Amino acid sequence: MPDHPIDGTSPLKAGARFTYKDYRNWPEDERWELINGAAWVMSPAPRRTHQTLALQLANQLANFFAGKPCRPHIAPVDVFLPEGDETLDETDIVVQPDIFVVCDKSKLIEEGVRGAPDFVIEILSPSTALKDQSEKRMLYEKYGVREYWIVNPNTMETFVYILRDGKYGLPTAASLLADVPVSLFPPLALRVRPEDL
């Protein structure tokens, strides 16, 4: 198994199972996510358009939530999804969503966030697209992320998943070139300014 990413893939770190105790001892210049103990590399760094798009969307969320209890975040921030009351060191699910909102302040800890965010946006990149659309979608569904968006930065096509009765079901397709309502937080709608990308 290679130690470095292969273009267009989300390679796994060789090893049987990892926890946050392992993760926090890895080199600081490497970014990884743990999903059920498997380590998924997040390098190379996201492309410029990916980051500009993330910044635009995060700024809109920050403006909307100013003075409100919900808190928007932008990667890299560790989100821990423990099965129960295990310690952080024992946790084997640690992800870094591109953009997310947490409304329960008790989930905010110094190391990041313990528990599912309310709203998550993942912006696809060649090295993480498969993981975002499969493993992470299932993970967010299982742990109760109430609304999950997957955004294609090349087309601005957005797939919106809403959690109903513990399941996402089929997504709604939308385009960030027009207003896309965030169903959890009316009247919030997000839109991209292509001229600023």
- List, for residues 151-183, the tens digit of each pLDDT value: 999 999 999 999 999 999 999 999 999 999 999
pLDDT at 125: 83
Give 124's contacts (C-beta < 8 A, 6+ positions apart). Answer: 132, 133, 150, 151, 152, 153
Residue type (1 letter), 131: K
Instruction: Report d(CA 49, CA 46) in Å as an integer.
Output: 8
| pTM, two decimal places | 0.89
Q: Is the model's pLDDT at 131 over the cut of 90?
A: no
pLDDT at 44: 65
Residue type (1 letter), 186: P
Q: Is the model's pLDDT at 83 over the cut of 60?
A: yes
Query: Which is it for strands 108-109 and 94-95: parallel, antiparallel or unpaired?
Result: unpaired
Task: Domain ranges for the chain, please list them.
Answer: 45-196
Taking residues 69-73, what's their average pLDDT?
A: 97
Q: Is the model's pLDDT at 99 over the cut of 90?
A: yes
Kindly indicate whether the domain formed by 45-196 is annotated with CATH number 3.10.300.10.
no
For residue 60, report the phi and psi dihedrals to the nearest 5 degrees: -65, -40
Q: Is the model's pLDDT at 3 over the cut of 80?
A: no
pLDDT at 7: 42
pLDDT at 45: 66
Place of tokens 């513990």: 166
* pLDDT category of residue 61 using cuts at 50, 70 and 90: very high
pLDDT at 13: 64
* pLDDT category of residue 32 using cuts at 50, 70 and 90: confident
Token code pair at residue 5: 């990413």
